Amino acid sequence: MTAGPVLMLHGIGGCAASFDDQVPAFEAAGHRVTAWDAPGYGPSPDPDSAPGMSGYAEAAAALLDGAEPAHVVGVSWGGVIATRLAAERPGLVRSLVLVGSSRGSGRTPEGRAAMAARGAELERLGPAEFAARRGRKLVSPEAPADLVYRVVSAMARAIRLPGYAFAAAAMAGTDHSAVLGTLDVPALVLAGDRDTVTGPGESRAIAAALPGARLEILPGAGHAANQERPDEFNRTVLDFLAETER
């Protein structure tokens, strides 16, 4: 059986380069991989207006040719988009891999308010300072300096207004608590045990709500588990995809 296509959706502070350690490994396993820069990120054009979570899901759907469903790998915000894609366009999704993801920041008043304020924070600080403050939190305290630099510098290059503010508004308006139990798709929920952004507890809650989902906790990894522990991440996800296709 031919390995199915894979769509990779980055986090709210990421970009396609967040998957530099994944694309070659997944292609070597026979998958056709698309790692996107979300609308308003990196080289992608700015949206004319706030897309909302469904708008981002439709933008992701537009990257799939529909000939066969894709394995969708979403990190953090990308996992929330992937969840909405599976809910609204289930025929396009062969499996879900949700990495350090969440049910959406709209689940609690505190989460909603904090996420809604992100755009103003970026405008006040500018991309470089914003990334310096937030990027370090994406990896564990033990992460090597070169990885921290790579994560922070990639964030500074990728984010800008209005794209980041639109993404934050979509997260602030989303709560997938009632959606997860309706999904009928093979799912792997993965988190780093040193994740302090969404935390392993949130991944456990997602896995418990998703029918038949598998939960994997990667030791020694922070929020950006795919970047901090790429070998373990790639092996875990590729094994899951192969099992799904069998």
Q: How far apart are CA 127 and CA 137, in angstroms?
A: 16
Q: How far apart are CA 118 and CA 124, in angstroms?
A: 10
pLDDT per residue as tens digits for the range 125-144: 999 999 999 999 999 999 99
pLDDT of 241 above 70: yes
pLDDT per residue as tens digits for the range 64-111: 977 789 999 999 999 999 999 999 999 999 999 999 999 999 999 999
Cβ–Cβ under 8 Å, residues 105 and 190: no
Q: Tell me, what's the pLDDT at 66?
A: 72
| Beta bridge partners of residue 189, listed in sequence order | 98, 215
In this prediction, what percent of the chain has a pLDDT beyond 70?
Answer: 100
Q: How far apart are CA 46 and CA 238, in angstroms?
A: 33
The full set of domains in the chain, from first to last, is: 6-245 (3.40.50.1820)
Neighbour count for residue 71 (Cβ, 10 Å) = 28
pLDDT per residue as tens digits for the range 44-73: 999 999 999 999 999 999 999 777 899 999
Average pLDDT, stretch 2-23?
A: 96
Average pLDDT, stretch 197-213?
A: 97
How does DSSP assign 19-50, residue by residue? GTTTHHHHHHTT--EEE---TTSTTSPPPSS-
Q: Tell me, what's the pLDDT at 2?
A: 72
- Contact partners, residue 68, CB within 8 Å, separation at least 6: 4, 5, 94
Q: Tell me, what's the pLDDT at 1?
A: 52
Average pLDDT, stretch 139-151?
A: 96
| Angle, helix 109-116 to helix 118-125, in steps of 10 degrees | 30
pLDDT per residue as tens digits for the range 173-200: 999 999 999 999 999 999 999 999 999 9
pLDDT of 233 above 70: yes
pLDDT of 232 above 90: yes
Dihedral sign, Cα of residue 165, residue 54, residue 19, residue 219 = positive
Indicate the DSSP class of residue 2.
P
